[in-house]
Amino acid sequence: MLSKRCFDIAFAVVALALLWPLVAILSLAVWCQDGRPPFYLSPRVGRGDRDFAMIKLRTMVVGADRIGASSAARSDGRITPLGRFLRRWKLDELPQFLNVLAGHMSVVGPRPNVRKGGVDGYTPAEMGLLAVRPGLTDLASIVFADEAEILEGSNDVQATYDRLIRPWKCRLGLLYIQRRTLAADVALTALTVIAIVARPLALSLLDGILLRWGADTSTRELCLRQEPLRHFVIEPEPS
């Protein structure tokens, strides 16, 4: 979709032009807290099953990926005090506009996963997520904005994530791929910003999009987040 790529480039250029002073200040703050590099290059899998380095402002202690799971609960001791603030307001994701300009990512698309413990465990249906560029935001970014709170108190954070969150994220990612349009990208971008300050409103507006897309009842109920999460398994498409 040429129009989608044009939107990605234009949005990323404007965002970086407006936000670079903020990114510079936050980068300095991250460096000042422990004297270590402020950016974290997170290995991810993108379109076509190709690896790339996703850029983030560092929110954890150096070497956190070697001492714990890839998912994190709110009280995870690896998260720095400043990192909690950055995660709360999604500020750690701002450098990823550079990934958008480089063509590794899109503004909207399924969030990129790690390979080990992530893509390596995908079902054949879930491999369809790698047909498009991963995104800075998507349906799941809005629905599971409280992911750290969901995982809080779990005895096995990664197992809880894999059972309750990951399958739904994949289902929503596949739904987006089937229904994606430039208008949907603009709407989801706006809802991502709304969700930071007024999540119930964002979820309500998202339900309107899902209704127009013809999403099934279970998916719409999940996205309203009014009921406890339940396990879901993505079944292969009938041949």
Does the pLDDT of residue 233 top 70, yes or no?
no
Does the pLDDT of residue 223 top 50, yes or no?
yes
Does the pLDDT of residue 236 top 90, yes or no?
no
The two tokens of residue 69 are 């799971």
Q: What is the pLDDT of residue 238?
A: 47
| Per-position DSSP letters for 23-73, written without gaps between them | HHHHHHHHHHHHSS-SEEEEEEE-GGG-EEEEEEE--B-TTGGGSS-SS--
**C-alpha–C-alpha distance, residues 215 and 172, integer Å:** 10
Could you give the count of Cα atoms lying within 13 Å of 28 in the half-sphere of its Cβ? 5
| Among 164, 177, 12, residue whose Cα is nearest residue 110 | 177
Does the pLDDT of residue 69 top 50, yes or no?
yes
Stretch 161-185: mean pLDDT, rounded? 94
Percent of residues, the chain, with pLDDT higher than 70: 97
Do residues 27 and 39 lie in contact, with contact meaning Cβ atoms separated by under 8 Å? yes
Q: What is the pLDDT of residue 235?
A: 57
Does the pLDDT of residue 64 top 70, yes or no?
yes
Percent of residues, the chain, with pLDDT higher than 90: 81
**C-alpha–C-alpha distance, residues 110 and 18, integer Å:** 25
Stretch 51-71: mean pLDDT, rounded? 89
The total number of residues shown for the chain amounts to: 239
Residue 142's pLDDT band (cuts 50, 70, 90): very high
Q: What is the pLDDT of residue 227?
A: 87
Helix, strand, coil % in the chain, rounded to nearest 5: 60, 10, 35
Do residues 135 and 107 lie in contact, with contact meaning Cβ atoms separated by under 8 Å? yes
Mean pLDDT of the chain: 93
Q: What is the pLDDT of residue 135?
A: 98
**C-alpha–C-alpha distance, residues 165 and 162, integer Å:** 6
**C-alpha–C-alpha distance, residues 48 and 154, integer Å:** 34
| Among 21, 13, 50, 55, residue whose Cα is nearest residue 38 | 55
